[in-house]
Amino acid sequence: MNEQQQGTQPGSTPSSGYAGWAPPTPPAAATPSPATPTPTPTPEHAPPVLEGTVVGPTYVEDHSGAGWGTPPPPPAGPAHAGGPGGHARRGMLRGRLALVTAVAAVAAVLGGVTGGAIAAQERGGSVANTATVAAPVAARSDGSADVAAIAAAVSPSVVQITVKTASGTATGTGVVLNTDGQILTNYHVISGAAGGGTATVTFKDGSTANATVTGTDKSLDIAVITASGVRNLTPATLGDSGAVAVGDAVVAIGNPEGLTGTVTSGIISAKNRPVTVQVDEGTTRGNGGFGFPNLPGQRGSAATGGDTASYQAFQTDAALNPGNSGGPLINTAGQVIGINSAMYSATGSSSTADSSTAGSVGLGFAIPINDVKQVLPKLQAGQNV
């Protein structure tokens, strides 16, 4: 039954419309009274629209129940008199409100997606390619290193580097920097590859990849190489070597004598130890590419001829042997605070010492990671400094 067919009983409330509404009166035989025209809504009565949002008499939509809240009836007055105009106006308002609600819902969804993308980018990756960084490790309650936890967290970020030249083969260690295949190591480990040899990287899972030299700093004995065609690598976390104290527990991971994934532990036994070490392949080839330092007060010289590097090193009693070069020295939080680079030679006379005169005697040396960070961006960008 439409509106024109609905009526009211005397004294009753109209069954349709709102207060003050009455159905049209049929014409009488006498001269009809002038009908009050239904005014057409004018612009000044229409609610303004700002950027798609209806601004006007407001009400709260209740989404907690089974449906939407019912808007209050419009105020009585000429602009809201009964008839098709009033109902059309309410229909228009409901339509605009529905449109605004739909736009808000779409904006909320798009905002959530955009926010997720921005958050992913702020974490250092894209939405489609995010890096898995070596997990942080907690020290034991007594402050000692949880060696097993450190090894599990950081070992996926440690690789073996093999360099072949016309003169032979040398083996060292490297630390994964990013998912693009960039790896930090000692310059003396890859000096043969920089001079025309070939470098191969072996990952923890046993897979291998060819690598090229990206950037070098011979004076600090560090270099960055890039493994080809790799993905889903686990970068190590670089810590703050400035916060390291003598007596702090540390862990070393490397490939001594080709024994891959070897883990040793100890403490920082001294800081700022001046070290000068040979870095050219010709003088380090005989000891697996490991550096023997020229230490203050040492008889003879382990750095006689060839290229050398000098730095203020961490000294550690964590066992280091040929093949550990370029590997990480790690704090109790699982962060790399140094790059293992040299060890003491018992004779102190030659960097070609054999196994009877060279090996871990509790005097290993590492380049502080803060020194490395100062030049690392340039090396990663392909520069030699």
Point out the residues that are catalytic: 188, 221, 325
Q: Are 39 and 81 in contact (CB under 8 A)?
A: yes
Tokens 């630390």, located at residue: 175
111 contact partners, CB below 8 Å, separation of at least 6: none
Angstrom CA distances, 103 to 53, 60, 111, 165, 249, stand at 9, 18, 12, 66, 58
Angstrom CA distances, 178 to 82, 244, 359, stand at 72, 24, 32
Helix (H) or strand (E) holding 159: strand 158-165
| 187, 189, 192, 194: CA torsion to nearest 10 | -40
Q: Are 160 and 334 in contact (CB under 8 A)?
A: no
206 contact partners, CB below 8 Å, separation of at least 6: none
DSSP state string for 291-356:
B-EE-TT-SS-S--SS-EEEEEEEEE-S---TT-TT-EEE-TTS-EEEEEEEE-BSS-S-TT--TT
The secondary structure of the chain in percent helix, strand, coil, rounded to multiples of 5, reads 25, 25, 50
Q: What angle do CA 294, 159, 209 make, to 5 degrees?
A: 120
Q: Are 252 and 265 in contact (CB under 8 A)?
A: yes
Tokens 């093999």, located at residue: 162
Alpha carbons 91 and 334: distance in angstroms, whole number: 65
Helix (H) or strand (E) holding 226: strand 222-227
